[in-house]
Amino acid sequence: MPFCPECKAEYTAAVSICVDCQVALVPKSLPADTVRYVDWEVIQEIPNEFVGNLIKGVLEGEGVDAVVRPYEITALAGIRLESEWGEVLVHADQAEAAKTMVQDYLANLSADDVENGDTDSEDA
């Protein structure tokens, strides 16, 4: 049975919106912690947990709550991209600002990698 993520009321399968809260109902079969992500938006796909935690740290340093979510949870819904490890989510109302922060951060990170990469390849 679907239920309301706000007031936790259960409804029959025919109902899709809570009459009290006017929010979309959540299927009860989903893992409990997925409910937390109802109002969250994916802003960045990540190749591994390390990069995810780096981005999370950058965002939280800017005052944006971020969550690193591995694809194991998403895979339950039949969606999985082999080339990606997971994704970073933020509150939907902070998504645009967060995307800009992450893009700026990744641009700087790439520039550092190029410089370090040149040095490493000469050593090797």
Q: Which residues are at the interface with Zn ion (CB under 5 A)?
A: 4, 6-7, 18, 20-21
- Give dist(CA 123, CA 98) in Å, integer: 37
Min separation Cβ 23 and Zn ion, Å: 6
Among 29, 11, 12, 28, residue whose Cα is nearest residue 20: 11
Phi first, then psi, for residue 89 (nearest 5°) are -120, 145
Whichever of 17 and 77 has its CB closer to Zn ion, that residue is 17
Q: How far apart are CA 119 and CA 85, in angstroms?
A: 28
Query: For residues 2 and 13, is the Cβ–Cβ distance under 8 A?
Result: yes
Nearer to Zn ion, 4 or 68 (CB): 4
Minimum CB separation of residue 24 from Zn ion in Å reads 10
Q: Which C-beta is closer to Zn ion: that of 4 or that of 67?
A: 4
Instruction: Please identify, using beta-carbon distances, which residue of 15 and 109 lies nearer to Zn ion.
Output: 15
CB of 4 to Zn ion, least distance (A): 3
- Say whether 17 sits in a helix, a strand or coil: strand
Least distance from Zn ion to the Cβ atom of residue 10, Å:
10
